[in-house]
Structure 1
Amino acid sequence: MVRNIIDYKNDPRSVAIGDFNNDSWLDIAVANYAADNITIYFGYGNGTVASPVKYSTGSGSAPSMIAVGDFDNDHRLDVAVANFGTNSVGILRKFQNGSFASQTALSTVSSRPVWIHVIDLNNDTAPDIVTANHGTHSVSVFYGYGNGSFSRPTTYFTGFDSFPLAVVSGDFNNDKQMDLAIANYGTNNVVILFGSDNDTFAKQSTFSTGPDSRPYSLAVGHLNEDAMLDIVVTCNGNNSLVVYLGHGDATFMSETTYSMGSASPYSIGIGDFNNDNRMDLVVTNKGTDNIALLAGYGNGTFASPKMYSTGSSSSISEIYSYVVSSIIGNSNIQP
């Protein structure tokens, strides 16, 4: 395993992976909050990477999260960044020679975006963008046109003092429309916005994560092999994970809570990490310099967390969930 490839003085807040130069090897993109830039590390396919290539996101931009998608339908991955400091989404389109164009900024007004999610929400094959907005207690949706440009944002309020920190998508009521699940740090709950066939969302369901739980991130997957989407949430206020098993009709079973002991969980990934055909959970922990693996039993329940060191003073906090799944899943971790 390669360690310490990222310069921590730049306050890296988020990681995304993808094959950015179409050589069939995975590369790494990092959002550097303190340096107002992103860095691209091209992979060699053997666990090592090239020296980073830097791209500015603008003075004072403070990029908090990064995601990837083919926004202009040229079969090359582009980059989208949530710029907390300049209240914008930055789009960096990919050139054929492997480099990226200068950033094009999409305004989020005064929202302070902290999370960015890329998904095709309206089934038109063009990737759309969703941001969680810490400053305005809302999420914003930018619909992609498939040519590198986007609609003006449509914003949905998530509740007074909700301070949303994360948003993911899935069809939670089996109507073939994508819905949004939002982790509200300030109000200790998860809000589901249900999608419709006219590109709008309605607030329908709210689930408590417990008093002072402070939900920080969430992930969606099939945890009990019933084809219904489930949700798992990290809560760093009470050092726990909360699992909601879906019924497929917009309702969920009562939550199951898993204690992480003294570890403060931040980001979470879902994947089969021990090759038993059952979904497991992997969690990054802040303050304890480790990650946790919870082996799944295939019925929506999980074993107690097993910790793996990430090195002294590694200070892991935010790592985008699918990045955790992809990287750790290739590391031969056995529960």
Structure 2
Amino acid sequence: MQGKSVTSGYQVTVYTILNQIVSRIRSTLAWALLTGGLTGCGMELPSPPPDLFHKFNVLEVDLGPTSLLTADLNMDGYADLVSTNAQNNTLSILLGKGDGVFNEARTLPVAAEPTTVVTVDVNGDEIPDLLTNARGAEQFTVLLGYGNGSFHKLTVPTGKVPLAIIPADFNADGKLDVAVTLTFDKMELFLGSGNGAFKKGETYLTGSRALSGVAEDFDRDGNIDIALAASSSNSSSIRIFEGNGDGTFSKPRRIAKNRVPLALIKKDMNKDGLQDLIFTSAQGDNMYMLISHGDGTFEKEIAFSGGGGPIALTAGHFNSDKQLDIAVANSRSSNFSLIVRKADGSFHYPTRDYVVDGGAPLAITSGDYNNDGMTDIAVAGNAKNIIEIYLQRRTIR
């Protein structure tokens, strides 16, 4: 064994392990101080919330599930699921039976590389429709629902590499319009005719590539605004485009600068009737919440933590209290984290984490899949092309 030091290698290994332990303790203590986990002189370290979910079902979908949504596509009163499958250029339609069980996935071919899907009533017939992007085909697809889980397909050309699909009535004519972000720092507007056809509107510079976005009247002036999660190597922020009510927008305003936002959702987190913003970040495995003032401005972002590589999130009532909680899919650590909120609105730490056997989860959604009045969770395992269904356990408070 000349020329090799077993002791040296052993010391390095021990040092690395000790370093990880110390780092974990420091992190836990920091969060304990922030969340009130240290009481008096006794160091009472916080514990995760109760085990609120159990894995109930595993569903096979096509190759490369990248996004999920929950909707009642066949209008039978039961929650259904839709998965975009980027590798095979398809959607998987899974019709729910109302007991946590779903029919075998029906595969719907769409244009190349779909990575996001939204549901909305495009043509005003009160039947759920779908919109999905096509990163590899420079278009988005309109799927007009028949109310039985099947669809009529239309396509709308876009600029290069469409990313986020953001539907709303941007010109106040009572017809649905669509904003589409593009890889090369742009956003295109498409004004709807009310029958599934769209006319190209204005194009706006976003400053950075926007992977996701939401529409809402953030300043309560009666016009729909857009918030984008825009990130690049040079600049990142949430960008707010204030709507003029005619399908045009003002120059964007930047908030939450340098947070490298990825997935963005809106929810009324503090029950004041205003839609707040929550987003995942590529910076330090963090997430952030922005509380709306109702005038287009927001409080300074509140940071909180999930697992390794938080990439997609959903909000819902995941326990028996009245606070909205958050579940986040962590692509690097192959799990999802349940982040429960306390009565005062702060976050319970540490999180309760659930291993995703399908690996590399890129998408998560929530809904009542077994019709018991409680919100459940579905998460897509990209590595094994499956969706895992987690049902909420009934708890007594």
Measured against the shorter chain, the TM-score band is 0.7 to 0.9
Aligned length: 321
Distance 1:246 1:299, change over 3 A: farther
Q: Does 1:192 align with 2:240?
A: yes
d(CA) in 2 for partners of 1:256, 1:96: 41
Q: Does 1:324 align with 2:369?
A: no
Query: What are the superposed Cα offsets for residues 258-287 of structure 1, whole Å, 9 maximum, x if unpaired?
Result: 133x52111122222223222222211112
Counterpart selection for 1:3 from 57, 63, 68:
57
- 1:31-180 paired onto structure 2 within 5 Å: 31-58=84-111, 61-95=112-146, 98-101=149-152, 103-110=153-160, 112-134=161-183, 136-159=184-207, 162-180=208-226
In 1, are the aligned partners of 2:323 and 2:345 still within 8 Å (CA)?
no
Distance 1:226 1:97, change over 3 A: closer
d(CA) in 2 for partners of 1:164, 1:217: 9
Counterpart selection for 1:236 from 282, 289, 297:
282
Residue 273 of structure 2 is matched in structure 1 by 227
Query: Structure 1: any 5+ residue segments left out of the alignment?
Result: none
CA displacement at 1:329 relative to structure 2:
2.0
State the percentage of identical aligned residues: 25
Distance 1:109 1:300, change over 3 A: same
In 2, are the aligned partners of 1:87 and 1:107 still within 8 Å (CA)?
yes
Query: What are the superposed Cα offsets for residues 114-159 of structure 1, whole Å, 9 maximum, x if unpaired?
Result: 222333334444332222222x212222222221212214322111
Residue 77 of structure 2 is matched in structure 1 by 24
From the CA coordinates, give the structure whose radius of gyration is larger. Answer: 2
AA of the residue aligned to 2:313: I
Q: Under a length normalisation based on structure 2, what TM-score does the superposition of the two structures give?
A: 0.74
Query: Structure 2: any 5+ residue segments left out of the alignment?
Result: 1-54, 377-390
CA displacement at 1:313 relative to structure 2:
4.7
Q: Under a length normalisation based on structure 1, what TM-score does the superposition of the two structures give?
A: 0.87
Q: Greater relative contact order (Cα 8 A, min sep 6): structure 1 or 2?
A: 2
d(CA) in 2 for partners of 1:44, 1:133: 37
d(CA) in 1 for partners of 2:375, 2:353: 14
Query: What are the superposed Cα offsets for residues 165-210 of structure 1, whole Å, 9 maximum, x if unpaired?
Result: 1111222212122111100121221100011222211134201343
d(CA) in 1 for partners of 2:321, 2:114: 38
Residue 256 of structure 2 is matched in structure 1 by 208
d(CA) in 2 for partners of 1:123, 1:2: 44
d(CA) in 1 for partners of 2:349, 2:243: 35
CA RMSD of aligned residues (A): 2.4
Distance 1:127 1:198, change over 3 A: closer
In 2, are the aligned partners of 1:225 and 1:299 still within 8 Å (CA)?
no
CA displacement at 1:88 relative to structure 2:
0.6
The structure richer in helix per residue is 2
